[in-house]
Structure 1
Amino acid sequence: MKLNSIGLDADKSLSISKDLNILLANFQRYYQNLRGIHWNIKGKRFFDLHVKFEELYNDANLKVDMVAERILTLGGVPLHTFEDYISNSKVPVGKNVSEDESAIRLIVDSLKELLVIERKILASSDDAHDEGTNSMMSDFITEQEKVLWMMKAWLGEAI
């Protein structure tokens, strides 16, 4: 087995970096959705939701950077074009979403997709003894599960 410069199996690290690129593409779409609903939200809940969506897109922006830097740490190259993001993401596109329930539903549906990808990466990073990626995914999952619970509560739905 060939080790990379951080002492991990080089082949497993490159495989994980490919999965992280899928996560990166999906996070970029999620981020853009959050920007769109932040800008376009209307109605009586505008003030509360406008602030919440800004909080979420700032967090997503930080996570995008963390994922890209982890890809580089593992020896990969982060995707960085809209073409790559479009062709590698499953997060739904939220175009012209301005109604509160539709905006929250978009967040719920997006987080569900992100969690599936993150759990896959969590399993493969555990297998590769890649604590850096594993810890990051664990933190992301914990935070996003809470946001998902809150959004579902806002919708009046059970988790």
Structure 2
Amino acid sequence: MGRLHWRRSGRFFRRKVGRERRKDLITLALMGIVIGILSSGSGLGGGFLVVPLLIFLGRETKLAVGTSFVFILMVAISSILAHYRLGNIDIKTGLVLALGGTIGAQIGPHLLQHLSDQNYKRIFSVLLVITAVWLFASSFTSSKG
């Protein structure tokens, strides 16, 4: 199954040749840099930006979600190292959250399999709006910086 997706992953680019293909690869890499900066500085992982980007580029929703985790893994490793060097990590809290997250991460993909692309996009959009409103509201009440 992994090989199938590996072969299919370049489908978007195979239709294009030469300069156009290189331009798309460069655009993706530059978007990766921007999203990497935003996600490592916000702690949001980047999936909230990568998934819509991949859907916009024509990927199926389920493939966009799964593919975003490759990005998230690489950015997370790099971010952990940078934040650790800066003293910005509470290891115990992170490990307890990771334990619960690991369990949830096994459930999420199975739930996704039962959602249509349309319903997923609706749910994802609502979660993004709720998160944005909560974050914006908390910026006025939080005294910690």
TM-score, normalised via structure 1 length:
0.29
Report which of the two has the higher share of helix.
Answer: 2
TM-score, normalised via structure 2 length:
0.31
Ranked by relative contact order (alpha carbons within 8 Å, sequence separation 6 or more), the top structure is 1
